[in-house]
Structure 1
Amino acid sequence: MKKLRSSIYSQEQVFLRELFIEKRKALGLSQRALSDKLGVIYSLIGKVETGDRRLDVIEFIQYCIALELDPKSVLDQVYQHMLSVSSDTADDSESKNSP
């Protein structure tokens, strides 16, 4: 597994944002409709979706619930994605180092 990174543009963060955007659209919700559901200003949704703003753990759970997602399932998907990215990176490193 990789070291802790603070980048909001990491592959894992991008994966999570894409998952949220895809689900919001599948539910037929606009950013404004989602913000109404969460009780926040609608620009927050745009900032989350573009990566300008991260969610803390409580906000993450509320966001998942608003999108009719199970937070544990979402965390598992992100974790599985991290493992696959980590595995792909290790495979690439090994192939570059082999004669």
Structure 2
Amino acid sequence: MSKTIFGGDHKHLVQVLTEARKASGLTQTELAKLVGKDQTYISIIERGQRRVDVLEFVALAKAMKADPARLFEQVLKRLSKRIVI
């Protein structure tokens, strides 16, 4: 397994996005095409090697036909009380 370059609570964001992609039935390649990117873009995110900004998060959620607010609620529920950035 590839080593993440981001620690702490970033893993929760990655987990939620990865779980949502799998639940949507999309492959990394299919999701990447929906957002106009290459498969490696999704792979790098899912390996924790790339941070996702809020606009990317919304675009990914919508591409997966998920409500961005509900997905973000899932992230919030998993975060530590004290977030280290």
More helix by share: 1
In the superposition, the TM-score normalised over structure 1's length comes to: 0.68
User: 5+ residue gaps in structure 2?
Assistant: none
User: With structure 2 as the length reference, what TM-score do the two structures score?
Assistant: 0.77
Identity, % of aligned pairs? 31
Aligned pairs for 1:1-99 within 5 A: 8-10=6-8, 12-82=9-79, 85-86=80-81
- Over the aligned positions, Cα root-mean-square deviation in angstroms equals 1.8
Q: Which amino acid aligns with 1:9?
A: G
Q: Write the letter of the residue equivalent to 2:6.
A: I
Question: In the aligned structure 1, how far is the partner of 2:46 from the partner of 2:6?
Answer: 11
**Relative contact order higher in (CA < 8 Å, ≥ 6 apart):** 2
**Residue deviations 1:47-66 (CA, integer Å, cap 9, x gap):** 00001111111111101111
Q: Given that residues 16 and 74 in structure 2 are in contact (C-alpha distance below 8 angstroms), is that contact kept between their aligned partners in structure 1?
A: no
List alignment gaps of at least 5 residues for structure 1: 1-6, 88-99
Give the 4+ runs in structure 1 shifted more than 3 A: none
